[in-house]
Structure 1
Amino acid sequence: MQEPAALNDLRRMSARVGKNILLTQAAGGNSSIKLGDVLWVKASGAWLADAEDKDVFLGVSLSGARAALAEGNERMPLAPGRDSPLRASIETSLHALMPHPVVLHVHSVNTIAWSVRTDASDKLAARLQGLAWHRLDYHHPGLPLARAVSESLARGAADVLILGNHGLVVGAPTCDAAEALVMEIERRLALVPRSAALADNTGLARVCAGTDYRPVHDALCHQLATDRHNLRLVTAGSLYPDHVIFLGPALPALAGGETLTAKAAHAASARWPAPVAVLVPGKGAVIRNDATTAAHAMLSCLVLVASRLPLRAQIKYLPERAEQALLNWDAERYRQQMTASR
């Protein structure tokens, strides 16, 4: 079946947004356009950055998706005549209930840095003045988040949603308008990152010798360990879902004299996998040799967020029950598998 021409606008916009690490990392984020009763939405595990090069969108029945949402069903029915081996995005229900023709959900670094702060309400209100926006607390992605958004929209229309410990959602009449709105919010919420000492490459090489780990390629990531504030922030808890999915809860750091081998053995004794990434205080960050491209992207995202958080900011981390819900979620296991195959 021939695809509508308007889908090309969605592809172009999605690819631009997907290639901006300040907005999207790995398979995170999603976009959609409503054309009649067909909701074209990004597939789970697909990368927005690939939107012009790969078939990352599938057609979902809009009325069927809304009916499924009302029934508490996360499986979204494909539109008649549409067939695909892919699954619709975990957030398809969110896209279906938003009334806007185009919906764009991004994991904006600046938005996340605001959304994890306990003191952000007044500051956000000043920066987003003139926009129709709502702020929501953290909710598990998928149906719980969609229900929370539905309740929020029932109290008043909004084009912008700030999702606690998660990201940003905008709705607009066109793809260009959605992208422009995201960029306007980026301008208003922009935060200046702190700089930190460079990695101790010699020390990291010594720490990694004979292990399954190596120093992270992205030099910026080492600031998670060379900056005391960053180190404290990211080892104290998890800030947002995709960190938990691809890196595990919080980030572990080597204690004085501890080795990577001992750290991995300790995890094995507790029947946990070896940490994907480990911080070596004062030296830098290391990552497992078998880490996926998505894990590398999530580590880059984490330093971009952490370095934008003020020294005295009070942070609201994801509770342990939320972390466990994400780690034990079949939909996220599927997304990990799809992402790993990229």
Structure 2
Amino acid sequence: MAGPDDSAAEFEALKRLSARVGADPLLVQAAGGNTSIKQGGVLWIKASGTWLMNAERDDIFVPVRLPPLLRAVADIDPAAEKAEAFVVAELNPGGLRPSIETTVHALMPQRAVVHVHCVETISLAVQANAEAVIDERLKGLDWTFVPYRRPGLPLARAIAERRGPATDILVLGNHGLVVAADTVAEAETLLGRVCGLLARTPRAAPEADTGALLRLAAGSDYRLPAQPEAHEAATDLQNCRIAAAGTLYPDHVIFLGEGSAIAGPADTAASVAERAVAEGRAAPVEILFPGKGVLLRRDANAGAEALARCLADVTARVDADVRYLTAEDAHQLINWDAEKYRQDLTRRMGAGLQ
């Protein structure tokens, strides 16, 4: 266990781990995921809208007073939702806001907490049989499954109801993975072990037909994605069917919108966008052309690029019936102030987040 005199070394270790985790698209996408460490009654947690991959380059951690935050969570105080009221202002010169999942980290008693949107975990956590399958794979570990709740206070309360006194692994339905330990090194080891136990071989997908996609994009506000892996959400028809049926996890809603736009046989990018606008909706950020690949709107930011690839990575691993987010789940996310802030920060920082 880390001693009282090694807090600075542990903080540096957290930054290094955060940067490594944040650079792995199978663990974290865009501004998703968060890490934290508890030191002297203060929870240092990743700021909302910042990218873990920049943890060694930028100041992305916010200090939050832990005891009053835990009291607020126990009292179901709305102030716990954003956690801004508990920030140690004099140690936060940049005025950053705590992660929307600060309460999740606060509830874990271990010193170091890592929350990732691990593709291996999500691909199981969206399945209707998730709890049974994961239980078989994580036998002998102290873990618990938490059905989907909106991130923030609702998720924290669900965790408080299900977590055991020594639980150090949380699998969040339609969301991701949390691991916790008393040192950063132990948390990293546990993260690697759990992700390995949950890993599955993705379906091999055909290559994209980029020539056809470029023709379909002609005269429109759409382009090829920067990450060619994103095409696999459409070139594999099973992946495409899974994506077409609904929204799988929160960050898809935040960065790509609710659900997935699937082009018909006679559609072009322009016709799909025109139809959406005529129906009172925004032109989709991403369009899936079954058997061919995907196109992204020209103004799609780095976050959208990352989540387009994530959709392909997740759907390629799903092999059972899926439990999708409901329309109400999506509505809560889209209209939640904390998520509006995160989206706005992503738009303003743009390529600087990469």
TM-score (norm 2): 0.92
Aligned mates of 2:279, 2:341 — CA distance in 1: 25
Aligned mates of 1:186, 1:235 — CA distance in 2: 27
The question of whether the paired residues in 2 share the 8 Å contact of 1:43 and 1:86 is answered with yes
Percent identity among equivalent residues? 45
Between 1:287-296 and 1:331-340, the stretch displaced more is 331-340
Q: Which of 194, 197, 203 in structure 1 is aligned with 2:212?
A: 203
Between 1:194-203 and 1:232-241, the stretch displaced more is 194-203
Name the structure 2 match of 1:301. Answer: 310
What is the correspondence of 1:1-342 to structure 2 with a 5 Å cutoff?
A: 4-69=8-73, 70=75, 71-73=77-79, 74-76=81-83, 77-79=86-88, 81-83=90-92, 84-153=94-163, 156-310=165-319, 313-340=320-347, 341=349, 342=353
Between 1:134-143 and 1:268-277, the stretch displaced more is 268-277
**How big is the shift at 1:121?**
2.5
Offset from partner CA, 1:71-120 (integer Å, 9 cap, x none) = 23213211263233210000001111111111110000000011111123
**How big is the shift at 1:123?**
2.2
Distance 1:78 1:4, change over 3 A: farther
Instruction: Look up the equivalent residue of 2:236 and give its one-letter code.
Output: D
Instruction: Look up the equivalent residue of 2:318 and give its one-letter code.
Output: L
Instruction: Look up the equivalent residue of 1:142 and give its one-letter code.
Output: G
The question of whether the paired residues in 1 share the 8 Å contact of 2:82 and 2:100 is answered with no
**How big is the shift at 1:339?**
2.1
Name structure 2 gaps, 5 residues minimum.
1-6
SS of corresponding position for 1:134: strand
Aligned mates of 1:204, 1:99 — CA distance in 2: 50
Offset from partner CA, 1:297-341 (integer Å, 9 cap, x none) = 00111111111112xx11100111001111111111111122231
Name structure 1 gaps, 5 residues minimum.
none
Aligned residue-pair number: 337
Aligned mates of 2:90, 2:226 — CA distance in 1: 45
The question of whether the paired residues in 2 share the 8 Å contact of 1:194 and 1:307 is answered with yes
Instruction: Look up the equivalent residue of 1:325 and give its one-letter code.
Output: Q
**How big is the shift at 1:266?**
2.1
Instruction: Look up the equivalent residue of 1:181 and give its one-letter code.
Output: L
**How big is the shift at 1:13?**
1.0
The question of whether the paired residues in 1 share the 8 Å contact of 2:27 and 2:119 is answered with yes
TM-score (norm 1): 0.95
The question of whether the paired residues in 2 share the 8 Å contact of 1:91 and 1:141 is answered with yes
Instruction: Look up the equivalent residue of 1:318 and give its one-letter code.
Output: L
The question of whether the paired residues in 2 share the 8 Å contact of 1:61 and 1:80 is answered with no
Distance 1:80 1:215, change over 3 A: closer
**How big is the shift at 1:259?**
2.5
Q: CA RMSD in A?
A: 1.4
**How big is the shift at 1:293?**
0.3
Name the structure 1 match of 2:4. Answer: none
The question of whether the paired residues in 2 share the 8 Å contact of 1:68 and 1:75 is answered with no
**How big is the shift at 1:145?**
0.1
Aligned mates of 1:121, 1:97 — CA distance in 2: 22
